[in-house]
């Protein structure tokens, strides 16, 4: 019984941490950063079980709003670093 309670608590903590948006560094203007964060949260909530669809929604919206060529990567343990000039 204790293992089940601990496992459920651990899973809830993991979901809570994963659902909080985090930006470590960006050179985006403030307005663009806020819009992008809201878009990402919306897409990930809408397609919570389909990362590919969430990424597609984000990319298409970013391309339309801010011009192309945005690259979107969503997944567990994925990291990316890129720079534009």
pLDDT digits (tens, 9 = 90+) for 19-51: 666 777 889 999 999 999 999 999 988 998 899
Sketch the domain layout of the chain as residue ranges: 29-73
Q: pLDDT confidence of 14, banded at 50, 70, 90?
A: low
Which pLDDT belongs to residue 66? 93
How would DSSP label each residue in the chain?
-HHHHHHHHHHHHHHHHHTS---S---S-HHHHHHHHHHHHHHHHHTTT-HHHHHHHHHHHHHHHH-S------STT--------
Q: pLDDT confidence of 9, banded at 50, 70, 90?
A: confident
Q: Is the pTM of this model over 0.75?
A: no
């Amino acid at each position: 019984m204790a293992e089940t309670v601990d496992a459920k608590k651990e899973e809830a903590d993991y979901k809570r941490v994963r659902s909080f948006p985090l930006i470590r560094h960006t050179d985006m203007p403030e307005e663009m950063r806020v819009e992008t964060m809201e878009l990402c949260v919306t897409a990930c909530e809408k397609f919570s079980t389909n990362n590919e669809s969430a990424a597609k929604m984000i990319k298409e919206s970013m391309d339309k709003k801010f011009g192309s060529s945005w690259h979107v990567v969503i997944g567990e343990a994925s990291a990316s670093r890129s720079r534009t000039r």
